[in-house]
Amino acid sequence: MFPKKAKSAIRGTVVIDRKTKQLLKRIRPGQIAILDHEDIDEIAARDLVAARVKAVVNMAQSMSGSYMSVGAKILLHHGIPLFDCERALDSLQDGDLAEIRENLLICRSFSLHLRVVTEEEIMDKMKLAERNLQSRLNQFVDNTLSYANKEKDYYSTPLPNLPLKVKIRSRHVLIVVRGKHYREDLRAIRSYIEDYRPILIGVDGGADALLEEGWKPDIIIGDMDSISDHALRTGAEIIVHAYPDGHAPASSRLDSLGVIFHVLPASGTSEDVAMLFAYEQGADWIVALGAHSNMIDFLEKGRKGMASTVLVRMKMGMKLIDAKGVSMLYQKRVKWKNFFFLSSAAAVPAIAASIISPAVRQFWHLLWLQLKYFIM
């Protein structure tokens, strides 16, 4: 069950951004998030929960019912008050002190009526999404097939070769995307990473996910819209995913940071480009972690089809493995140093018994006499 709506006033400073990914870089615990995010997706909701925001005010519908988005449900489940409003709040700035009293937002010299998002509304929108499922699925499939037919020639042509220092040929490659449950999946395959030492590719914020778990990315691929400056400065080789015409909006940011980068013009999503690049560079196996693979994943990213994903996976064939399969099937190698320590630990009780027990001491004494007899 969801928590009951809080009746006390909510006070705090606001952080406002029309791009939730940018807002999440700046928000701090106890602040009020003001965003413009229709159908809040699961990853954004979980990141807002992890940021410990005090409340969320959305300048769009938090759940429209057009498909089964679950972000609003997650926020309410974790006790975070959620409000939708009918007008833009661009006059607000980061750090403004605001108060939400019942359904009224009070800030500086103005007030604005908000609509409280309730448990009942979420349940109604869930039912509406179920009714819309078949029509959305038909639209999604038609769009996917249409674009796949238009773009198939592009994916049969090799990507431009880049002068990277990291050599991928005949290596395992782990590609990390900030998809659903990426943190849990990354922890689950720690043994695989330690034993096989795959090339680590972070797709945008996937590079930060690797750093959070103590791994340094070898390569970073993406349009760089959801990655930290810290990750970009780690020394990883950086590949900017540009539009097919070569335009790369992230170039100015990287130039200002003073980091060296390569530009890779390509269609599709950055995670598709990362997989295709690793494949064409001769990787033995490609493990995908957090990758988007179903209709809901792509609708949450604002994409109405998955043509590039279908084409890339068809081209890669059996070289692509999902990280969840690796975590279930991988058996950790027994290392010699671990075998040595295990054997040593097992020998301790035997040695102790030899010292303490008179019968065991007598056995070793007789064995020594027998050896002396044969030697002499």
pTM: 0.72
Report the mean per-residue pLDDT for the chain: 83
- Residue 84 near residue 113 (C-beta atoms within 8 A): no
How many angstroms separate the Cα of 168 from the Cα of each of 163, 266, 279, 282, 285? 12, 20, 9, 6, 10
| pLDDT category of residue 89 using cuts at 50, 70 and 90 | confident
Lowest mean pLDDT among 124-138, 162-176, 198-212: 124-138
Mean pLDDT of 61-74: 90
Q: Is residue 342 pLDDT above 50, yes or no?
A: no
Using alpha carbons only, give the angle 362, 363, 367 rounded to the nearest 5 degrees.
Answer: 115
Mean pLDDT of 183-199: 91
Structural domains of the chain ordered from first start = 10-124 (3.20.19.10), 158-329 (3.40.50)
Between CA 275 and CA 284 the distance in angstroms is 12
Q: Is residue 323 pLDDT above 90, yes or no?
A: no
Q: Is residue 333 pLDDT above 60, yes or no?
A: no
Mean pLDDT of 313-320: 81
Q: Percent of the chain having pLDDT more than 90?
A: 50
pLDDT of residue 303: 57
| pLDDT category of residue 156 using cuts at 50, 70 and 90 | confident
Query: What order of strands is seen across the sheet that includes strand 219-222?
Result: 261-265, 237-242, 219-222, 199-203, 172-176, 285-289, 320-322
Q: Is residue 34 pLDDT above 60, yes or no?
A: yes
Closest to 253 measured CA to CA, from 238, 268, 267, 243: 238
Higher pLDDT pick, 362 / 157: 157
